[in-house]
Chains A and B, each alone.
Chain A
Amino acid sequence: MSAATLTFLSDTLVRILVFLSLIIVLDLKYGFTDIPNFGITGFFALGAYTTAVLTATDPQYGIGLGLPWWSGWLVSVVVVAAAGALLSLATLRVDELYLGLVTFAFAEIVLVIIRNLQPITGGSLGLIGIDPLLPGADPFLRAIFYLAAALVLVALFAAGWYRIATSPLGRVLQAIRVDELVAKTSGKHTLVFKIKIFTLGSAAIGLVGGFWATYNGGIVPNMFELQILLLIWIGMILGGNRRLSGLVVGAFVIFSLRIGTRFVSVPFITETQFASLRGVVIGLMLILIILYRPQGLLGNSKEIL
């Protein structure tokens, strides 16, 4: 294989791994506590834009402070964690469905603000000039380096997921999911647990956002639109939530479909038509999974969505 093919493969893989890490976080929140986070792309965008504004040098539009990458990532983690803590503090008392709507509204507000604050964020034109890791390195070498970094990220998240799932905290979360009232009666302050997990998850998303901004070198609001949110959700449900293997399968199936087909051309139909066709397939997948396989491809039929 040529270096170009390998670079393309590694790029696709990095993108899938980034979304896999988001799916792991989403599952940690939803799978364990039934917190339906429809705002995950909002937190993701917040993290990415924080890093972008802090680390970009001379962007055409918007602000770039030119700080080193690690400071951007660090601030992203803090900012997104703080946003998550505030939002959960304010909302976790309401019903789950309402919470889903609140987080969704939050994500949309973040996007509208990013699109319209052009002096800071570059608006819909995006923010470019974010310095890559290993600035002087050979592109191929850098691609491998990013791949390694993404693998470490996912491994870290998976380990964290597993650690929490098997810890006393995980058991409390499971108890909350099955029956919050019982958990409360057993003396667990369920609200505190929910806020903890939501904040922790947000911090993790902030880190992924920072990585995403640095990796892409430039970001636009459309990278965080509704379509992506849906793909992350479908990725979580597809393989079966609450098990790591299911999340991995789901992420790879759905995001290879999305990312791996970017440069595929099909005879007789235009590019837009191909994108539409892909959208139809994704919609149908969502419908069929929920109708016929709510526990996911690898799921256990006793654990239903």
Chain B
Amino acid sequence: MDFLTPVAFGIVFGAIISVPAMGMSIVYRTTDVLHFAWGAYMMLGAFVAFGLQQVGVGIVPSVLLSTLVVGLVSVALSEAVLRPLYGRGLLSLLLVTIGIDRVLLNGVQFFAGPDSRIFQVPSFGVISRTPVITVRSVLFVAISVGCFLALYYVMFRTGFGRRLRAISANADLAEVRGIDTRRELTKMWFLTGALAGLGGVMIGIRQGFSPYLGQLMVPYLFAAIILGGIEDFRGAFVAAIALGILVRSISRISATEWGLAATFALILVVLLVRPTGLASIWGSDERVDVT
């Protein structure tokens, strides 16, 4: 039996998932929003890119435009719905994002119907047959590593990243020290939303999509960020790829759904044994715990 193919598939799947997961983790860290609609944002990205491609826009501009659109949606929804609730407790924020998720899923389904769709994108050639590796999947992994490096640079080497980390440590203090928190968070929502859109397009190209794409992806997103320590996007990146390999390997030897069961079991075990996830292994960074 070919054991390398599930590993290769898992790396690609995990790499794609890591892109939105990193954004989701930054969102949680800076605003305390555990964003249930993050999968729906991915779904939205896939639909926008697909629609653009249908009307004749090339694949690269479609991807870029849909990323932009989801970024703007993320900003708009955070302004309209989430910002008034900052500080009102984790549960209120979580429940509101569940509401957003319902509206997006059902709204898209109302207009587009529940059917699955497939992107017409070539695989650009095959690199290896055992394990199966195509140029397109290498490209996906490269994009995700690129996103990781770019985020690392932005978060740790730029003024914007420093201000964001200040806000996540203590928003009031940051405000007092002259940081325009609203402006910085707006930028953050755009950036992370764009990542969600990008992840959605990539997963859509790789395995097709329907309005339910978000529903399918949310468990993996949650598992990745919990495993990664919730607040650390670096952890989310590593965890997503590890999770991808695990899920695809399990799917290889049994029914697909057991991979999902394993994902939830993993969430359960990690939360019980080591609630801080991977971050506790390499030591948390400078976030001040104020609780």
Interface residues of A (CB under 8 A from B): 36, 90-91, 94-98, 100-102, 105-106, 108-109, 112-113, 115-116, 226, 230, 233, 237, 272-273, 275-280, 282-287, 290-291, 294, 304-305
Contact = CB atoms under 8 A, between A and B. Distances in A.
B259 to A, nearest CB: 10
B84 interface: yes
A90 B255 CA distance: 29
A105 B103 CA distance: 23
B258 to A, nearest CB: 7
B268 A116 contact: no
Interface stretch (B4-12, B105-113, B183-191): B105-113
Interface string B92-111: 10111011111101110110
B264 interface: yes
B99 A100 contact: no
Contacts of A277: 106, 110
A100 B98 contact: no
A109 B271 contact: no
Contacts of A115: 257
Q: Which of A105, A115, A284: most chain B CB closer than 10 A?
A: A105
A100 B94 contact: yes
Q: Which of B94, B215, B258: most chain A CB closer than 10 A?
A: B94
Interface of B: 34, 81, 84-85, 88-92, 94-96, 98-103, 105-107, 109-110, 113-114, 215, 219, 222, 226, 255, 257-258, 260-261, 264-265, 267-268, 271-272, 275
A230 B109 CA distance: 18
A277 B98 CA distance: 16
Contact of B85 (A102, A276, A285, A290): A290
A287 B103 contact: yes
B105 A109 contact: no
Nearest to A229: B98
Given A97-B94, A290-B96, A109 B265 contact: yes
B105 A279 contact: yes
Given A277-B106, A277-B110, A305-B91, A283 B271 contact: no
A112 B258 contact: yes
A287 B100 contact: yes
Given A272-B113, A279-B105, A286-B95, A112 B257 contact: yes
18 contacts: A95-B275, A98-B275, A101-B222, A102-B271, A102-B272, A105-B265, A109-B265, A116-B255, A226-B215, A272-B114, A276-B109, A279-B106, A280-B102, A280-B103, A286-B99, A287-B103, A291-B84, A294-B92
Contacts of A285: 99
Q: Is the interface of A mostly helix, strand, loop or mixed?
A: helix
Contact of A291 (B96, B101, B106): B96
Contacts of A291: 81, 84-85, 96
A305 to B, nearest CB: 6
A275 to B, nearest CB: 8
A116 B272 contact: no
Given A106-B264, A286-B102, A291-B81, 14 more contacts: A36-B91, A100-B91, A102-B268, A105-B264, A108-B264, A112-B258, A277-B110, A278-B106, A280-B110, A286-B96, A287-B99, A290-B95, A290-B99, A305-B91
Nearest to A283: B102
Contacts of B96: 286-287, 290-291
Q: Which of B102, B105, B267: most chain A CB closer than 10 A?
A: B102
Contacts of B85: 290-291
A37 B35 CA distance: 18
A230 B95 CA distance: 9
Contact of B272 (A94, A273, A280, A283): A94
A106 B268 contact: yes
A13 to B, nearest CB: 26
A251 to B, nearest CB: 17
B236 to A, nearest CB: 15
Contacts of A284: 99, 103
Contacts of B268: 102, 105-106, 109
B110 A273 contact: yes
Nearest to A305: B92
Q: Which of A273, A280, A282: most chain B CB closer than 10 A?
A: A280
